[in-house]
Every structure is written in structure tokens, then in C-alpha cells.
Amino acid sequence: MGEAMVARQLNTTPQQKKRLRILLAKPGLDGHDKAAKVIALLLRDAGFEVLYTGLHRTIDEIVNTAIQEDVDVIGLSIYSGIHVPASEELLKKLKEEGADDITVIVGGQIPPRDVKKLKDLGVAAVFPVGTRFEEIIDFLRKVK
Amino acid sequence: MPKKEIREEDLRKVVLESGIEVKPIYRPEDIKDLDYERDIGDPGEFPFTRGIHKFMYRYRPWTMRQYSGFGTPEDTNSRFKFLIEHGQNALNVAFDLPTQNGLDSDNPLAKWEVGRVGMAVDTLKDMEIAFDEIPIDKISTSLTINATAPIILAMYFVVAEKRGVDLKDIRATPQNDILKEFIGRGAWIFPVEPSVKLVCDIIEFCAKNAPKVYPVSVCGYHIRESGATPAQEIGYAFSIAETYIDKVLERGLKVDEFVPRFSFNFDIFGNMFEQIAKLRAARRLWARIIRDKYGAKNPESMKMKMIAGGGGAGLTFEQPENNIVRGAYYALVSALSGTQTMALCTFDEAYTIPSAKASLLALRTMQILMEETGVCDTVDPLAGSYYIEWLTNEMEKKIVGVMEEVEKWGGMMHAVEHGYVQSKIARQAYEMQKKIQSGEIVKVGVNKYRMEEEEREIELYDLDMNAVQRQIRRLKEVKNNRDNLKVKESLDELRKAIKRDENLMPYIMEAVRHYATVGEITQVLKDEYGVFKEPSIL
């Protein structure tokens, strides 16, 4: 193996790689933002770059922010029961904007029966209430 | 061989969430400075540590008020009747998120959310249907509404008016605590200053026109749910209450003219003795603040009234039936704390809005406690316990410390505008969650006795899309049939009243009488006041 090759490999080690950028978002009118804030702090501690939209965002606003900020992942946090239609619209809008390379994950009050529904729509991972922190971090470390 | 003696130093250390270290044994010397008359007093006597009524539950047990409301006003009306039929003696109305956020059911921003987490209300018509055949001259009704509280309370008043019930006889409690919405729960609309003005409009209006209404229920509850410690829950709630008092005093009212109708909403989960001491300490501190700082003369002003029971953050998604057991303990703790009203979270709340079965089970939980256990027989049975009295003292000191910190921040309005409280409790919530994940804080079924393959049979609430369509259709019909000129006039009058900085309640009631919608009235307020901009706190 030549020296150039070694250097390239070094460049792809986690320390050198561009940090994963994650947009945490609260779609709709739900005001329960404790989990979104907790996850933001957790992911920042784990070394990711985290942006948080704040409350009461429309899907269009979330998509626009994601594109402008060039994020790798969008995480929706939902406690109001709108996870299926909100995810569906988000994925559709991302596709329309040609931004469907962004990984979408969903967390919150998600009943077991809806986990498969969300994955079928194209949500990459679902983290219902009670998910262990490692599970979220492990998943995100494997993105890209 | 002699047995090795176990020493206190060898035992595990216990520190409560509020930061108080607890010994394994308490003795008379731990409360040697306690003076019965000064610090505890008989029930119904200053400083009300033991309770605000002389005979408490022996004379009148707590009011049972399960939170309910979903779908259309018709759905909610039948759930109300179901609960009343089964022995519930008060109502606690849940509104959907569009109603809480001032959006009509046909607003594009409301799609997916109409009737989902509570009842949809667009116009007076909906409130007329929701309270059809409900004796609003007799029953007391809690309206869990904040940013749009002036509109919803105005509707409730007009429903009463149309049925010939005098406002003076109406017993209701709009939650109407916007400052806590900025900290937890998040159903705010307007900036902090006008939001607080609206809270005070209701307080002032009720003091003058609807004296049996509790115009504000200051919610430590949601602050605690968002990550505050029990001491912070009380401290922040009291700082919020003081903010409202100060603002109403500026309008020229006297403290004894409105503070008797203040009420509080507190949370119950975590260490049970800490919760009991928290609420005993809170009653004592409130009485002292109102008498000594505000110069109240009427003992009614000094009595801290509350609803307690909840405890949503104590419930778990895992092994949901365990929440039935938790609910029963929280109910016991609430009763031992001397609450006036109780509402329990249902065991399925980590999944869905409560099913009829779960609501009934919560009601039965309270009834079993009330009727079978003797908890109502003797007032404040824990009084005089070395531990409880010591802990009550320690909690009071902690609460005072929290209130002093808010003062240093420049008061509660400044603190929420800049996100100081939000930032502090978000970090605490994160630390707490880390401790749960590490097992340092035990949650049965979550980090201990966990079952990886468990059956979770929860009856989930399915939003009836036909009901949503019916709601939108009704809104259209009401708009077609009302006198639109009158609506416009009343909204114009409201706009002028905002510019003149008057109490807006009479103007909102007038608009409501003409079937102006929640969205239309909110829009006028938004035009004049603008909207809150969330501080960045992370």
C-alpha cells in the first residue's frame, strides 16, 4: 500500500470525517419539547452537529431549513399522534426538492403498530419513548 | 463470633431530587425548633401547613376531575355524561391543539390535528353542543386552555348567559397560566408581555363579574414534567403567581379582591415523602407570602388551593399496566398532601389519549382510595412525624432559594423571555434521563425487571376522519348563517379596545355572541400583539 492511499484512508476515519449534521424538528402544533431538547443535548455530547427548529414548524419550514443548513439527518419529535401524516409529507417534500438523500428518523409517542408503517413510508429509524440513548447514537454513527 | 455492627455511614446515600440528603432515622431533635402554632397550626388555620379546611376530607372529600375531551363536541359531550354517570363530580376539558393555538379547524396549519388530543372548538356553537344537558349552574368545570383562554372562557360564559345562568353562579377554572406554557407544554401564541396582560384581563374580569370562577390555575405541573425538581416546581409556580398578582395590583385591585380565587396545579411522581413535604411546605410558604409580602387580611387569600394527582412523567411506555399501580400511589400521595381536586393520568397515556376504560379505571382508583382505605377520616395524618416535619422545613428553604434565583434573573417574565428557566430544566431533564438509562434512578419495567418481549395491549384512539369533516362542515354552516356584519363590527371594536389597552373580556364576549371564530379573534390579537419568538436555549 502506497503512502497516498494511507493518507486517504486516514481522511475517512471518524475524527477526520465531516461531522454529521442533524436537524431536530417539531412539526405541527405539539408543544411537548422536552424530548427534543434532551436528544439535542445528547447528540451534541456524542459529537454530532445539532440544530433544533423550535416549536410549531410546518413541513415546508423544516424542509427549507434542512436544505439551507445542508443537514444529513432530519429527526422529527412528535407526541401529538401526527407522526404518520407528518412523516409522509416530509418524505414527499424532500423528494420533490431533490433532497431525499437526507435520512429521516422519527421519535416520540409512537405506538408499536405505527413503527412498521413509518418504516414502510421510508423513515430510516423509529425511536419511541423509552428508547435507549445508545441505540440512537449507534444508528447515527452508521449514517453514510 | 460477635456480629459486625452496621453503621449509618455504611448505608447507601439518599439524596432527593430537590437536593436534600435524607438520613435513615429521624428523631425529636431534628425538629426541636418547630413551633406548632407558628409553623404548623391546626388545619384551616394560618399557616395552613396541615390543610386549608378545618375538617378536610372528613367533611368534604376531594373533587374528582378526570381530564377528557376528544374529537367533536358531540364525542366530548357523551364522554362527559359517561363520567358523570359513573360518579365524577366535576369536568376537566381537553381542547385540541388548533383550539389551544388559536387556529380554526379549516386552517391548513391545523390539518392532522383537529380533534386529536382534545375537543375541537371553532365557535360558540361547539361549546353549546359540548355542554348540552350538562348542568353548568351546578357542576364545576376546568378548561385546560391558556393562550386562547379569554376566548374559550368567554364562550363558556355566553353559553351560561344563553341558558339564563347568572355569571355570579358559574364555577369554572380556566387554566389561564401562560407563563408556564413558555417553560413547558408550548401552547403559546403572543409575546410574553401581552400574554400576561390577557391572563390578568381574565383575573380582573372574574373578580368583578364571576366571583366563583378560579380565573387562573398556576401550573407547577408542566414545569416539573419538563424537568424541574419538586422544589423548582413550587418555586417557579410561586414566582409566576407573584407576577400575575403584581400585574393585577397595578390595575388598582386589592390583594384580597382576587387572590382568594387563585389556584394551583401540581405534579405527583418520584419520592412520595418529598412530594408530601413539598405541598405542605408550599401551603405554609404561600400563606406567609400573601400575608407578609402582600399584606392580605382575608385568610381566604392565604389558602393555597390545588389540583394534584397527575404524574405523567412518572408513567412508562414499558409494561403499561404498571402505570395503574403508579396511579394508585400517586392518588394516595395526593390525598396525604391535602389536595382539593384530584385527576390521575390514565395508564394508557404514554400511548394515546385516554380510552373510556382507562378513564373509568382512574376514577375507580380514586373512589377505592376515598371509600375503602380510611384516608378521609383524619386530617393530615402525617403531621408530627419527625421526618415529614423536618422535610417540610427543608423543602420550604429550597423553594425560597428557587424564588430568589428567579429574582436574580430579573423576574419570571424576563426569565422566560430569555429562556433561563427553559435552559436550566432542559439540562436537568437530560441529566435525569441519563440517570434513568444508567439505572441510577430505578424505573420498574424500564431499567429493572425489563421484559424484552412484552405484550402491550392498549386500545388506541383512532381519529375519526369523518368527525373532522363534520367539524369543518359545521364551521362553514355557522359562518354562513351568522350575521357577518355584526362579526366584523365586534372584531373592529376588539381591535380598538386593544389599542386603548382596555380589559378585552367584554369585547371578546361580544364577538363570541355573534359566533366569531377562535381563529378570527386570535388573528386580531396577533395583528396587534405579534407572536412570541422562542429564545434559542441549547
Q: Which residue of B has its CA nearest to A36?
A: B426
Per-chain mean pLDDT for chain A: 89
Closest chain B C-alpha to A7 CA, distance in angstroms: 36
**Measured between CB atoms, which of B184, B350, B430 is closest to A109?**
B350
Nearest-CA distance from A99 to chain B in Å?
A: 23
Q: How confident is the model over A82-132, as pLDDT tens digits?
A: 999 999 999 999 999 999 999 999 999 998 889 999 999 999 999 999 899
Residue A41 and residue B426: Cβ atoms within 8 Å?
A: yes
**Cα(B222)–Cα(B310) distance, rounded to whole angstroms?**
10
Q: At what angle do helices A133-141 and B420-438 cross, to 10 degrees?
A: 100
pLDDT at A17: 60
Give domain status of residue A114, yes or no. yes
The answer, yes or no, to whether residue A3 has pLDDT greater than 80, is no
Give the minimum alpha-carbon distance from A101 to chain B in angstroms, rounded to a whole number.
Answer: 26
Residue range(s) defining the domain that contains residue A62: 21-141
Q: What is the pLDDT of residue A140?
A: 98
End-to-end CA distance of chain A: 25
Q: Which of B96, B98, B84, B31 is nearest to B353 (CA)?
A: B96
Mean pLDDT in runs of 10 for chain B (538 residues)? 84 97 98 97 98 97 87 91 88 94 96 93 98 94 97 98 97 98 96 98 98 98 97 98 98 98 97 98 98 98 95 92 96 98 90 86 96 98 98 98 98 98 97 95 94 75 85 98 98 98 98 98 98 91
Select the residue of B113, B226, B437 nearest A82 (Cβ to Cβ).
B113
CA-based nearest residue in chain A for residue B349: A109
Q: Do A41 and B463 touch (CB under 8 A)?
A: no
Kindly state whether residue A8 falls inside one of the protein's structural domains: no
What does pTM read for this prediction? Answer: 0.95
Q: How many CB pairs under 8 A join A and B?
A: 91
Query: Is A11 part of a structural domain of the chain?
Result: no
Residue A70 lies in a domain: yes
Q: Where are the domains of chain B?
A: 1-54+216-416
Question: What residues of chain A lie within 8 A of the CB of B185, using their CB?
Answer: 31-32
Task: Give A-chain residues touching B187 at CB under 8 angstroms.
Answer: 29, 31
- C-beta atoms of A31 and B185 within 8 A: yes
Using CB atoms, which residue from A80, A86, A133 is nearest to B437? A133
Give me the helix-helix angle, B149-162 and B192-209, nearest 10°.
20
User: Nearest 5°: CA angle at B246, between B245 and B247?
Assistant: 90
- State the nearest Cα–Cα gap between A95 and chain B, in angstroms: 21
Cell triple for residue B414?
424576563
Q: In this structure, is residue A14 part of a structural domain?
A: no
Residue with cell 427534543: A36
pLDDT tens, position by position, B42-55: 999 999 999 999 99
Closest CA to B98 of B72, B134, B66: B72
Residues of B in contact with A40 (CB under 8 A): 538
Residues of B in contact with A28 (CB under 8 A): 97, 112-113
Buried b (16+ CB within 10 A) or exposed e, B458-486: beebebeeebbebbbebbeebbeebeeee
Query: What residues pair up with A108 in beta bridges, in sequence order?
Result: A78, A128
CB B226 within 8 A of CB B429: yes
CATH number for the domain including A32?
3.40.50.280
Look at residue A21 and tell me whether its pLDDT is greater than 90: yes
Q: ipTM score of the complex? A: 0.92
Q: Which of 429-458 (B) contact A at CB < 8 A?
A: 429-430, 433-434, 437, 446, 456, 458
CA distance A120 to chain B (A): 20
CB-nearest to B426 from A32, A37, A54 is: A37
**pLDDT tens-digit map of B196-254:** 999 999 999 999 999 999 999 999 999 999 999 999 999 999 999 999 999 999 999 99
Residues of chain B positioned with their CB less than 8 A from the CB of A59: none
Number of domains in chain A: 1
Per-residue model confidence (pLDDT) at position B1: 64
Mind telling me how many Å the CA of A72 is from chain B's nearest CA? 20
3-state secondary structure B13-76: CEECCCCCEECCCCCHHHHCCCCHHHHHCCCCCCCCCCCCCCCHHHHCCCEECCEECCECHHHH
What percent of chain A stands above pLDDT 90?
Answer: 83
Architecture, CATH, for domain B1-54+216-416:
Alpha-Beta Barrel (3.20)
Distances in Å between the alpha carbon of B383 and those of B68, B178, B271, B276, B502?
A: 34, 35, 18, 11, 47
SS (H, E, C) A24-48: EECECCCCCCHHHHHHHHHHHHCCC
Band (A5; pLDDT cuts 50, 70, 90): very low
